[in-house]
Chain A
Amino acid sequence: MQKKFSSNRYDPQGAVRDDVSRRHFIKGVIACGTVAGAAGLMTGCSDSGDGGSAPAGSAERLISINVNGMSRNVDVMPNETLAHTLRNKLGLTGTKLGCDRGSCGACTVMIDGTTVNSCSILTHTVRNANVVTVEGVGGGNGELHPVQTAMIEELAPQCGYCTPGQVVSGVALLQRNPNPTREEVRHALAGNLCRCGAYNNYVNAIVKAAGSA
Chain B
Amino acid sequence: MADYNLIGKDFTPQDVRPKVTGTGKYSEDFKKDGMCYMKMLLCPMPSANVTNLDASEALAMPGVLGVLTADEVPAVDEPGYPMLTNKPRQLGMPICAIAAETESIAAEALERIRVAYEPQPFVLDPLESLYPGGPNALDSGNVTGGGEGNPPIHTRKWTARDFAEAGEDRLPMGEAPVEWSVGDVEAAFAEAALVIDEPFVTASSTHQALEPRSVLAYWENGKCFIHGSSQSQSWMMPGLARMMDVSLDDIVYIAEYCGGGFGAKASPYPIQGMAGYMAKKIGRPVMMRVTRAEEYHLGGTRPGFQGQVKLGFNANGKMIAADLYIVQSGGPNRGSGDYSSAAGALALVYTPTNMRFRGAAVVTNKPWHVSQRGPGQNQLATVVEPLMDRAAKELGIDRVAIRDLNAPEADVVFTESQSTVTSMYLKEAYKLGAEKFNWEEKKAMSGQRNGSKVIGVGVGSAYHSAGSNGFDGLISIRPDGKLYVHSGVGNLGTYSYAGTCRAAAEVLGCSWENTVVLRGDSRHGLPWTLAQFGSNSTFTNTRTNFVAATKAKEMLQRLAAMDLGGEPGDYEVANEAVTNTSDSSKTMTFAQAGQRAIELGGEWDGTEYPDNLNDVTKAALKNVTGSGLVATAKDELFKEGSVPGMAAAFCMIELDTDTGKYEILEMHSIADCGTVLHPQGLQQQLRGGAVMGIGEAALDRMIYDPQNGLCATVGLYQTKPPSILDVPTLIETDAVNQPDPQNPFGVKGIGEPAMGCAASALLSAISDATGTYFNRTPVDPDMIINALSGRPQSFTPLQVNV
- Taking beta carbons and an 8 Å cutoff, which residues of A are in contact with B? 1-2, 4-5, 7, 10-12, 18, 21-22, 25-26, 29-30, 33-45, 47-56, 87, 92-101, 103-104, 106, 133-135, 138, 142, 144, 148, 151-164, 167, 182-183, 186-187, 189-190, 192-203
B17 an interface residue at 8 Å Cβ cutoff? Answer: yes
B15 an interface residue at 8 Å Cβ cutoff? Answer: yes
Q: Please tell me if the beta carbons of A34 and B116 are within 8 angstroms of each other in the complex.
A: yes
Q: How far is the CA of A10 from the CA of B160 in the complex (A)?
A: 17
Q: Please tell me if the beta carbons of A2 and B210 are within 8 angstroms of each other in the complex.
A: no
Q: Please tell me if the beta carbons of A201 and B684 are within 8 angstroms of each other in the complex.
A: yes
Which A residue sits closest to B11, measured CB to CB? Answer: A155
Q: Please tell me if the beta carbons of B104 and A106 are within 8 angstroms of each other in the complex.
A: no
Interfacial chain A residues near B21, Cβ < 8 Å: 94, 134-135, 138, 142, 144, 148
Q: Report which residue of B22, B106, B714, B722 has the largest number of chain A beta carbons within 10 angstroms of its beta carbon.
A: B22
Q: Please tell me if the beta carbons of B44 and A43 are within 8 angstroms of each other in the complex.
A: yes
Identify 21 residue pairs between A and B in the complex whose beta-carbon atoms are under 8 Å apart, listed by A's number.
Answer: A7-B132, A29-B117, A33-B117, A34-B115, A36-B112, A42-B44, A43-B293, A49-B102, A50-B104, A56-B108, A96-B210, A103-B717, A155-B10, A160-B20, A160-B257, A189-B724, A190-B724, A193-B723, A195-B692, A200-B728, A200-B730
Q: How far is the CA of A22 from the CA of B711 in the complex (A)?
A: 15
B122 an interface residue at 8 Å Cβ cutoff? Answer: yes
B26 an interface residue at 8 Å Cβ cutoff? Answer: yes
Q: How far is the CA of A201 from the CA of B42 in the complex (A)?
A: 39
B707 an interface residue at 8 Å Cβ cutoff? Answer: yes
Task: Knowing A93-B25, A96-B211, A199-B691, say if A12 contacts B120 (CB, 8 Å).
Answer: yes
Task: Knowing A99-B292, A157-B19, say if A5 contacts B163 (CB, 8 Å).
Answer: yes
Contact of A18 among B107, B707, B722 (CB under 8 A): B707
* Minimum CB–CB distance for B13 against chain A, Å: 8
Complex interface bits, B710-723 against A, C-beta within 8 A gives 1, otherwise 0: 11001111000111
Task: Knowing A43-B44, A43-B92, A49-B103, say if A197 contacts B689 (CB, 8 Å).
Answer: yes
B370 an interface residue at 8 Å Cβ cutoff? Answer: no
Q: How far is the CA of A49 from the CA of B293 in the complex (A)?
A: 12
B492 an interface residue at 8 Å Cβ cutoff? Answer: yes
Contact of B681 among A96, A155, A167, A195 (CB under 8 A): A155
Interfacial chain A residues near B120, Cβ < 8 Å: 12
* Minimum CB–CB distance for B193 against chain A, Å: 33
Q: Please tell me if the beta carbons of B687 and A43 are within 8 angstroms of each other in the complex.
A: no
Q: Please tell me if the beta carbons of B716 and A99 are within 8 angstroms of each other in the complex.
A: yes
Q: How far is the CA of A87 from the CA of B127 in the complex (A)?
A: 47
Interfacial chain B residues near A53, Cβ < 8 Å: 102-105
Interfacial chain A residues near B543, Cβ < 8 Å: none
Interfacial chain A residues near B570, Cβ < 8 Å: none
B131 an interface residue at 8 Å Cβ cutoff? Answer: yes
Q: How far is the CA of A103 from the CA of B727 in the complex (A)?
A: 18
B window 665-724: CB within 8 A of A: 680-681, 683-684, 687-692, 707-708, 710-711, 714-717, 721-724
Q: How far is the CA of A4 from the CA of B711 in the complex (A)?
A: 21
Q: Please tell me if the beta carbons of B111 and A36 are within 8 angstroms of each other in the complex.
A: yes
8 extra interface residue pairs, beta carbon distance < 8 Å, beyond A43-B297, A44-B296, A190-B724: A7-B132, A43-B91, A47-B293, A48-B107, A148-B20, A159-B492, A161-B210, A197-B691
Which A residue sits closest to B690, measured CB to CB? Answer: A197
Q: Could you tell me how many residues of chain B have their Cβ less than 8 Å away from some Cβ of chain A?
A: 110
Interfacial chain B residues near A40, Cβ < 8 Å: 42, 110-111
Q: Please tell me if the beta carbons of B22 and A195 are within 8 angstroms of each other in the complex.
A: no
Q: How far is the CA of A208 from the CA of B256 in the complex (A)?
A: 29
Q: How far is the CA of A55 from the CA of B107 in the complex (A)?
A: 10
Q: Pick from B258-266, B551-559, B578-586 the stretch touching chain A.
A: B258-266
Interfacial chain A residues near B725, Cβ < 8 Å: 186-187, 190
B window 456-500: CB within 8 A of A: 491-495
Interfacial chain A residues near B494, Cβ < 8 Å: 158
B278 an interface residue at 8 Å Cβ cutoff? Answer: no
Q: How far is the CA of A97 from the CA of B293 in the complex (A)?
A: 13
Q: Please tell me if the beta carbons of A22 and B39 are within 8 angstroms of each other in the complex.
A: no
* Minimum CB–CB distance for A200 against chain B, Å: 5
Q: Please tell me if the beta carbons of A190 and B112 are within 8 angstroms of each other in the complex.
A: no
Interfacial chain A residues near B26, Cβ < 8 Å: 96, 161
Task: Knowing A1-B163, A44-B715, A47-B291, say if A198 contacts B688 (CB, 8 Å).
Answer: yes
Interfacial chain A residues near B350, Cβ < 8 Å: none
Interfacial chain B residues near A54, Cβ < 8 Å: 102, 104
Q: Report which residue of A10, A96, A196, A201 has the largest number of chain B beta carbons within 10 angstroms of its beta carbon.
A: A196
Interfacial chain B residues near A201, Cβ < 8 Å: 683-684, 687
Q: Please tell me if the beta carbons of B716 and A198 are within 8 angstroms of each other in the complex.
A: no
Q: Please tell me if the beta carbons of B729 and A203 are within 8 angstroms of each other in the complex.
A: yes
Contact of A195 among B15, B210, B730 (CB under 8 A): B210
Complex interface bits, B104-138 against A, C-beta within 8 A gives 1, otherwise 0: 11111011111111011111000110011111000
Q: Please tell me if the beta carbons of B688 and A196 are within 8 angstroms of each other in the complex.
A: yes
Q: Please tell me if the beta carbons of B291 and A93 are within 8 angstroms of each other in the complex.
A: no
Which A residue sits closest to B166, measured CB to CB? Answer: A1
Q: How far is the CA of A5 from the CA of B208 in the complex (A)?
A: 32
Q: How far is the CA of A169 from the CA of B258 in the complex (A)?
A: 22
Contact of B135 among A10, A34, A152, A156 (CB under 8 A): A10
In the A-B complex, the 5 residue pairs with the closest CB atoms: A94-B22, A197-B691, A161-B259, A160-B19, A159-B493
